[in-house]
Structure 1
């Protein structure tokens, strides 16, 4: 079984929740290195690779409900949805940190975030996710997108950067965010189109969404 490199002996000091809150209020997105310690990132990465080797991942799909379909020309990553009621110990550490952040964001913004859903994502070399937005026309519960990167040894040239488009549906301007291990990216789900550039080495992450209560009527 493959293992990521051992973590560094000294843990990074994470940025404060206030920094994330301020960035979300000011810009609509935040990019925070060291949200989890190297040891915590290592544990999540090792678990993700074990689950991958055990065949637990599936091809990602696009769309919702009966319209969900595999579309490899748009999205070619593999995912494994997390069950919040049956999290592993490393996953629970991350979930608890996210839940504390959720409460802080609610106090600062009155967004009314009630829960979080997410999945492990693995991009083998050559895979990508074309430009898209995370909110569906018939399901707008997702408010904030969260991406935690699990690539402790990522180097320039490894690919898999997140391209975040800063002006709605416009193609420019944009920024490219490196998927370095421990970095947490958070952004308003309905505001930012984004894509994952082609990965040249395995790219690991946990992608998820803070949600509000459903307002749909049936």
Structure 2
């Protein structure tokens, strides 16, 4: 009896493939942020590196993911009426995760040099939206009350089509009732926007949807208060 043997996914080795698809990967993104405060870049990372991240996202078993909530640390709450995705925070415990965090650290340096944002670090998690999941319109940081300065979302979905749902909708900085863009979560697409300025939402997904959501942060630690991560 013949049994089909499926090809095994390639084991990622740290620094084994080029991470970026362009010689100057940050140029267009930096220009967009400087002029309008948000940017959507297709094929930001190389095809092979994006595939490695997608393999990593798809390999995470649901049992090792957490129901996403709103708020940080002691203020964290599960609010299913607001969002229904599952997450796993990214620690530098595997080669592909190490390299992803390194590349985002390089972007942080470029952002500080060009835009003088004073970004201190970057935190990110894998996100999984099962069929029917969504995230209602929200803002990632309230002015003067958060250390999140720039939000990022990298999409890791093959063959996303019209009708699959799960689009990212970004709203106008001055009038949150006006859409400035609606974007499919297609493989390799990176969205970046000012966390305090742009309301956004994730429309209901009609199939499983993977992404990496992250935030560049400033350090708000004081002598009496520790600035928490995640």
Q: Indicate the TM-score class for this superposition, using the shorter chain for normalisation.
A: 0.7 to 0.9
- 3-state SS in 1 of match to 2:79: coil
Equivalent residue, structure 1, for 2:50: 41
Equivalent residue, structure 1, for 2:14: none
TM-score, with length taken from structure 2: 0.83
TM-score, with length taken from structure 1: 0.87
Equivalent residue, structure 1, for 2:153: 147
The answer to whether structure 1 residue 58 and structure 2 residue 71 are counterparts is no
Deviates further, 135-144 or 123-132: 135-144
Structure 1: stretches of 5+ with no match in the other structure: none
Say which of 13, 30, 38 aligns to 1:29.
38
The answer to whether structure 1 residue 82 and structure 2 residue 90 are counterparts is yes
- 3-state SS in 1 of match to 2:163: coil
Structure 2: stretches of 5+ with no match in the other structure: 1-5, 11-18, 226-230
The 1-side partners of 2:174 and 2:82 are apart by 19
Equivalent residue runs for 1:68-107 within 5 Å: 68-83=76-91, 86-107=92-113
Equivalent residue, structure 2, for 1:184: 190
Q: Between Structure 1 and Structure 2, how many residues are aligned?
A: 209
The 1-side partners of 2:204 and 2:126 are apart by 18
Equivalent residue, structure 2, for 1:128: 134
| Larger Rg, first or second structure (1 or 2) | 2
Over the aligned positions, Cα root-mean-square deviation in angstroms equals: 2.4
The 2-side partners of 1:100 and 1:64 are apart by 26
